[in-house]
């Protein structure tokens, strides 16, 4: 298979190698994620209106996932056209800003969901004065503001200057700089490692407390155990490969002194980098499943909705049969 390459500075990168897997991945994520998150927005909003604290985190999380997914068509077109960005630097920077903002807001909100569940399990009575709807909204807004401020450097990075490049690249790995390196370290430590530790700790506490309880049935304990493991494993699958690449790129900034070695490193790491970044989008499509598993109230709403659909479907033929019988009776004079 031939591989087309394009120039980034003085180094050619294999931009064509990721085309088929990324387009396939983005298509599947969009088909699954968009309708699933629309349904989840509706279900979690019902919980917010019922003063459910967990519903606030889940509602904003699903909104963020939808915003995140809305950037995928632009990236898909960009990749399908050979990594050429046709919409200018401003659109490139805003698309990248929305994409990365919502990735990390989602990560921190997943931490909020786990912490809230942990507090509710460990301190069911004492936590009631703390677990208020107002507090959940404040925490959510604080996370959004901090993440938004932390990603402002996106607007001054050279990688977003699509107009200033002959080949119109948008946030492709280029010449490493101190700013990009510091940004990568921060994203790995604050945006991945710290949330991972929070998820592991809180789910471990939840699991221990539930397993030690004698009032909970064995079947329910198994559900909690698989949910705790699923949350951590799913987080690792979606985000660990991409952030490992970010850390590797950051470390290489200090160790690569020769331009030729740096070019070979960039060429070797480029395709895994782009594929792993695409892999992180799966999180937005699969989060609704975690919502349903983590919240009893959301599960009840889903069951109530499915019951309504089934009852409506079973009544439609009966109503049609009844109407036909009435029409025949009318025609025969009965």
Q: Does residue 305 fall inside a structural domain?
A: no
Report the percent of the chain where pLDDT is more than 90: 20
CATH number, domain with residue 204: 1.20.1070.10
Q: What is the pLDDT of residues 123-166, one digit of tens each?
A: 887 877 888 889 999 999 999 999 999 888 888 877 767 665 55
Select the more confidently predicted residue: 222 or 35: 35
5 neighbors 14 (Cβ within 8 angstroms):
yes
Domain contains 241: yes
54 in a structural domain: yes
Contact 95, 170 (CB under 8 A): yes
For the segment 32-36, the average pLDDT, to the nearest whole number, is 90
| Model confidence at 323: pLDDT above 60 | no
**C-beta separation of 98 from 166 below 8 A:** no
- Dump pLDDT digits (tens) for 226-274: 888 888 888 999 999 999 998 988 888 777 666 677 778 878 888 888 8
Does any domain span residue 169?
yes
For position 287, what pLDDT does the model report? 80
pLDDT at 43 over 80: yes
pLDDT beyond 80 at 12: no
Residue indicated by tokens 């399908």: 80
Q: According to the model, what pLDDT value does residue 166 have?
A: 59
Q: Domain for residue 17, yes or no? A: yes
Q: How confident is the model at residue 291 (pLDDT cuts 50, 70, 90)?
A: low
Crossing angle, helix 72-80 and helix 88-122, to 10 degrees? 130
Q: What is the pLDDT of residue 244?
A: 93
Is 231 contained in some domain? yes
Spell out the residues 6+ positions from residue 91 whose beta carbon is closer than 8 angstroms to its own: 74, 85
Over residues 40-48, the mean pLDDT reads: 87
Task: Place 219 in a pLDDT band, splitting at 50, 70 and 90.
Answer: confident
pLDDT, average across residues 1-24: 66
| 266-286: average pLDDT | 86
The answer to whether residue 212 sits within a structural domain is: yes
Least confident of 36-40, 195-199, 225-229, 299-303: 299-303
Q: Across all residues in the chain, what is the average pLDDT? A: 80
**pLDDT of the residue at 10:** 60
Contact 154, 187 (CB under 8 A): no
Q: pLDDT tens digit string along 171-201?
A: 877 666 777 788 889 999 999 999 999 999 9
Question: Residue 204 is part of which domain span?
Answer: 13-298
Question: What proportion of the chain, given as a percentage, has pLDDT over 70?
Answer: 79
- Which of 243, 248, 297, 271 has the alpha carbon at shortest distance from 107? 243
Number of domains in the chain: 1
pTM beyond 0.85, yes or no: no
**73-116 pLDDT tens trace:** 999 998 888 888 888 888 888 998 998 898 899 899 989 988 98
**pLDDT beyond 50 at 3:** no
Domain assignment present for residue 288? The answer is: yes
């Amino acid at each position: 298979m031939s591989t087309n390459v394009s120039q980034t500075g003085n180094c050619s990168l294999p931009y064509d190698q990721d085309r088929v897997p990324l387009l396939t991945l983005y298509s599947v994520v969009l088909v699954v994620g968009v309708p699933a998150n629309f349904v989840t927005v509706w279900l979690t909003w019902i919980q917010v209106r019922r003063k459910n604290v967990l519903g606030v985190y889940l509602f904003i999380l699903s909104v963020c996932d939808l915003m995140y997914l809305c950037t995928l068509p632009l990236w898909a077109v960009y990749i399908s056209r050979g990594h050429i960005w046709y919409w200018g630097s401003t659109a490139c920077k805003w698309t990248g800003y929305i994409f990365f903002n919502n990735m990390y807001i989602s990560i921190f909100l997943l931490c909020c969901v786990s912490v809230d569940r942990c507090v509710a399990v460990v301190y069911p009575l004492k936590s009631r004065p703390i677990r208020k709807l107002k507090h959940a909204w404040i925490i959510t807004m604080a996370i959004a503001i901090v993440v938004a401020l932390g990603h402002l450097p996106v607007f001054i990075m050279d990688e977003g200057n699509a107009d200033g490049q002959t080949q119109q690249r948008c946030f492709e790995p280029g010449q490493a700089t101190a700013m990009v390196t510091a940004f990568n370290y921060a994203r790995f430590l604050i945006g991945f490692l710290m949330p991972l530790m929070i998820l592991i700790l809180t789910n471990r506490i939840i699991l221990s407390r539930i397993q030690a309880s004698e009032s909970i049935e064995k079947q329910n304990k198994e559900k909690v155990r698989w949910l705790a493991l699923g949350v951590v494993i799913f987080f690792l699958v979606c985000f660990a490969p991409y952030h490992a690449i970010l850390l590797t790129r950051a470390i290489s900034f200090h160790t690569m002194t020769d331009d030729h070695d740096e070019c070979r490193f960039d060429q070797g790491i480029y395709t895994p980098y782009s594929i792993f970044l695409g892999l992180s989008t799966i999180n937005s499509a699969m989060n609704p499943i975690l919502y349903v598993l983590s919240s009893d109230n959301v599960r009840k709403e889903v069951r109530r909705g499915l019951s309504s659909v089934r009852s409506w479907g079973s009544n439609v033929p009966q109503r049609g049969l009844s109407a036909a019988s009435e029409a025949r009776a009318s025609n025969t004079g009965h």
